[in-house]
Amino acid sequence: MRVLVTGGAGFIGANFVLRTLAQRPDVEITVLDKLTYAANPATLESVADRIDLVVGDVADAALVDRLVAAADVVVHFAAESHNDNSLADPSSFVQTNLVGTFALLEAVRRHDVRYHHISTDEVYGDLDLEDPTRFTEATAYNPSSPYSSTKAGSDLLVRAWVRSFGLRATISNCSNNYGPYQHVEKFIPRQITNVLAGVRPKLYGDGLNVRDWIHVDDHNDAVWTIIERGEIGETYLIGADGEVNNRTVVETILELLGQPADAFDFVTDRPGHDRRYAIDSTRLRTELGWQPQYLDFRSGLSATIDWYRANPDWWQPHKQAVEANYAGTERVIG
Ligand code: NAD
Ligand code: DAU
């Protein structure tokens, strides 16, 4: 099976490539990645001779047409993925997440190739902390940020291409991922590497916002489950019942690294900050038989801390620029 993985040099895409090569000898992988600031080609170094890495843009219709024509399956991870960046400058989000997805859909349509679209739970907006409900496949779209609105738009393009052109496509909307090889701009790696670098972790607002954490390997196993057993045209929510508030995550990181649990700063809140995400993944579990393997967030977090401690060469070159960028917008408030 020939699989085209867009965004395969980023966090989730690279984990998908490494895990697929380790578990599926029948799969040949081509990665299409623009190698933006978010990519780290070092992640793929150990498999460089087993994949075809094409450096290019998903919005480049001619390039995408050629690569899609040679694939049996396309898994579309490539995106601008960070909410804070989308608030500073949304333009690349519109270009990559909407125009890039459009270019892929047109190529997939021309060549009748199986397509899986990677998306996020943020398309559903947010929930109150006290709300007893969780997101399901039936929840109405209500995105809050430039990032999540472009992801929502890309999902709607896929749905329209399925209905109008009979595209052989599926969509998955997953909750917050953690694990190795995640860029240090994101919450968990930022706080782990802050503590490792002797800097106090930074919590936005009151620190009570809730995210529904899932290990990246569980996400990627779910993606393969959907590719192999998902119903064409359908959407599946991916989540591992991992709701935790941000303050608890920071306190756990501090504790696991031997620091006082209160050695963090509150900083100015993210504009429009979604309060809570929560996924009900019953459909994926009951219809397709997927189950997460990482059931204990604390031990998954501990393994992730060990990975960052053991791999400073992977993250240190990016740390200073990320912190300089945050310093331009955030202010300590407590
Ligand atoms: P990431 O930012 O770590 O990686 C994105 C990758 O896409 C990078 O390698 C980057 O170079 C590449 N890319 C960006 N623009 C491109 C373009 N125009 N052409 C080709 N390549 C381009 O992102 P991630 O966290 O790995 O997220 C991957 C996907 O999963 C995204 O679609 C995101 O919306 C979705 N998702 C992420 C999470 C999460 O918690 N990180 C949760 C649910 C869904
Ligand atoms: O829900 C899935 C989404 O999860 C994905 O679609 C996105 O691509 C991914 O980036 C992530 O979005 P979030 O905005 O939830 O992730 P982030 O890591 O930026 O922040 C997680 C939470 O932590 C959020 O409530 C904001 C907060 N935060 C973040 C940073 C960087 C802090 O309190 N301090 C920080 O320094």
Q: What SS3 state is found at 140?
A: coil
CA distance 131 to 206: 18
67 Cβ contact partners less than 8 Å away, ≥ 6 residues apart = 4, 30, 32, 54, 107
**The predicted structure's pLDDT at residue 291:** 98
Cα 11 to middle of ligand 1, angstroms = 7
Q: What is the mean pLDDT of each run of 10 residues along the chain (334 residues)?
A: 98 98 98 98 98 98 98 99 98 98 98 98 98 98 98 99 98 98 98 98 98 98 98 98 98 98 98 98 98 97 98 97 95 94
Q: How far is CA 79 from the centre of its chain?
A: 9
- How many CB atoms within 10 Å of residue 32? 30
Residue 101 has φ and ψ, to the nearest 5°, of -65, -40
The yes-or-no answer on residue 147 being catalytic is yes
Pick the CATH number of 2-178+215-238 from 3.30.70.580, 3.40.50.2300, 3.40.50.720, 3.40.50.10190: 3.40.50.720
Of the listed 33, 57, 80, 121, which one is catalytic? Answer: 121
**The predicted structure's pLDDT at residue 316:** 97
**The predicted structure's pLDDT at residue 130:** 97
Ligand 2 binding site (Cβ under 6 Å of any ligand atom): 81-83, 120-122, 175-176, 186-187, 190, 202-204, 209, 211, 246, 270, 277
Q: What pTM was estimated for this model as a whole? A: 0.99
Instruction: Give the ligand 1 atom nearest the CA of 178.
Output: 40
Q: Are 203 and 247 in contact (CB under 8 A)?
A: yes
**The predicted structure's pLDDT at residue 16:** 99
Q: Are 10 and 75 in contact (CB under 8 A)?
A: no
Query: Which two three-digit tokens encode residue 112?
Result: 């009748």
Q: Are 220 and 16 in contact (CB under 8 A)?
A: yes
